[in-house]
Amino acid sequence: MKKVLFATTALVATAGVASAEVAVTGWAEMGLFGGDNAMGMGIETQFFTDIDVLFRMSGETDNGLTFGAGVDLDENGAFTVNDDGGAFVFLSGNFGTVTMGDTDGALDWALQEANYGNAGSIADDETAHAGYLGSYGDGAYDGQILRYDNTFGDFGVALSVEMDDTGMMDTGFALGFRYGMDLGGADVGFGVGYQFIDVANYLPGNLSSIAIPAQDFDGEYDIFGISASVASNGFSANIEYTDFASDTAGEEEASHVSLGLGYTTGAITVSANYGIWDYSSKFAADSGDITGFGLAAAYDLGGGASIHAAYGVSDYSDIANAPAAFDDLETWSLGVALSF
């Protein structure tokens, strides 16, 4: 998205205030979407419109700390103090950066998920399928995350905490490391991390509680993840592995592998991703593989406008207890995305 900065620093110079900036940007999308809904039933092909205005604020303290915050026009939940509601606040200095609110936990911060080189779409079909994993254990509580991160040359480290406001569940936390280097003209990246969550009736990623009717996660879980990515000459690829291990004997567990591929040439970008869950319940009929893949293509018209097509499909057929409608759950969209 193109950033349209209101250089308020300059504008307010005569008013005698120091450095502070409110950037107002926006985006809009129009098109068509269709496929199957979350209940597994076909939906009428119909018009798609979406729009948002983004407020990004930044400033600097007298001794050189930078700070900022962001909220969007659509985030009506952002004004409840005990929930992030889509807003984030940060403070940054030599010590690193502290961010609170709607931000990535340390595991998500460290890993490269399968949307590497992704062409994007208006309805996010390519990242909404069951095989896609984007946020690991983040959001297991209220989504209000506190993360500290810092970089040392090519090396980055982060630590994050997410709390249960009721105090009934143990506090979640995560630790992540990432490393990036230039290897003969190719950008190579590695990430590894660990996350702890304490949950009830929980399913990771995009897994559907309708498709997996009964046997979900309860109790404490250790999540371990690792990813590798490479980008060169318009090509990009990544692989990511995650394991969710229960601390409770007999509880459900799962592991996940995903691959992402992208290619950009001139105005055209095409991308694909595939993911597979190995889901294991104590009941065989609730166990098995769940897969999904996504495709996206974009044509950049310049000036912030682009045409997007995307497709996503989920397959729960290996889970005996999953409803038949979830054997082949598809969504697609086609339209124009505009950024301002």
Interactions with a second copy, residue window 92-121 (CB under 8 A): 100-101
Given the complex with a second copy, which of 124 and 240 has the nearer CB atom? Answer: 124
DSSP state letters, 199-268: EEEE--TT--TTTS-S--EEEEEEEEEEEEEEEETTEEEEEEEEEEEESSTT--EEEEEEEEEEEEETTE
Q: How many of the chain's residues bind a second copy (CB under 8 A)?
A: 80
Which residues between 147 and 176 bind a second copy (CB under 8 A)? 163-167
Choice from 35, 59, 134, 323 touching a second copy (CB under 8 A): 59
Does 65 sit near a second copy (CB under 8 A)? Answer: yes
268 lies in the binding site for a second copy (CB under 8 A) = no
Nearer to a second copy, 192 or 305 (CB): 305
Nearer to a second copy, 93 or 234 (CB): 93
Q: Which stretch binds a second copy (CB under 8 A): 76-84, 152-160, 225-233, 319-327?
A: 76-84
Q: Of 20-39, which residues contact a second copy (CB under 8 A)?
A: 20-22, 24-26, 28-30, 33
Q: Which is nearer to a second copy, 22 or 214 (CB)?
A: 22
Please pick, from the candidates 3, 39, 154, 214, the single residue that binds a second copy as defined by CB under 8 A. 3
Rounded least distance, CB 210 to a second copy, Å:
20
CB of residue 94 to a second copy, shortest distance in Å:
15
8 touching a second copy, by CB under 8 A: yes
Rounded-to-integer distance, Cα 125 and Cα 108, Å: 20
Smallest distance, Å, CB 30 to a second copy? 4
Q: How far apart are CA 314 and CA 110, in angstroms?
A: 26
Closest residue by Cα to residue 208 from 81, 295, 319, 55 = 319
Q: What angle do CA 301, 302, 307 make, to 5 degrees?
A: 30
Q: Please provide the distance, in angstroms rounded to a whole number, between the alpha carbons at the two ends of the chain.
A: 7
Residue 305 touching a second copy (CB under 8 A): yes
Q: Is 44 in the site for a second copy (CB under 8 A)?
A: yes
Helix, strand, coil: what percent of the chain each, to 5?
A: 10, 55, 35
Q: Are 191 and 112 in contact (CB under 8 A)?
A: yes
**Closer residue to a second copy, CB minimum distance, 44 or 201:** 44
Question: What residues have CB less than 8 Å from 246, skipping those under 6 apart?
Answer: 217, 219, 220, 221, 252, 253
Considering the complex, state which of residue 99 and residue 115 has its C-beta at the smaller distance from a second copy: 99
Token pair 């124009």 in the structure block, residue: 336
Q: How many CB atoms lie within 10 A of CB 330?
A: 14
Closest contact distance (angstroms) between CB of 3 and a second copy is 7
Question: CB-side exposure of 277: number of CA atoms within 13 Å?
Answer: 32
Query: Residue 184, interface with a second copy (CB under 8 A)?
Result: no
Handedness of CA 73, 109, 241, 223 (dihedral sign): negative
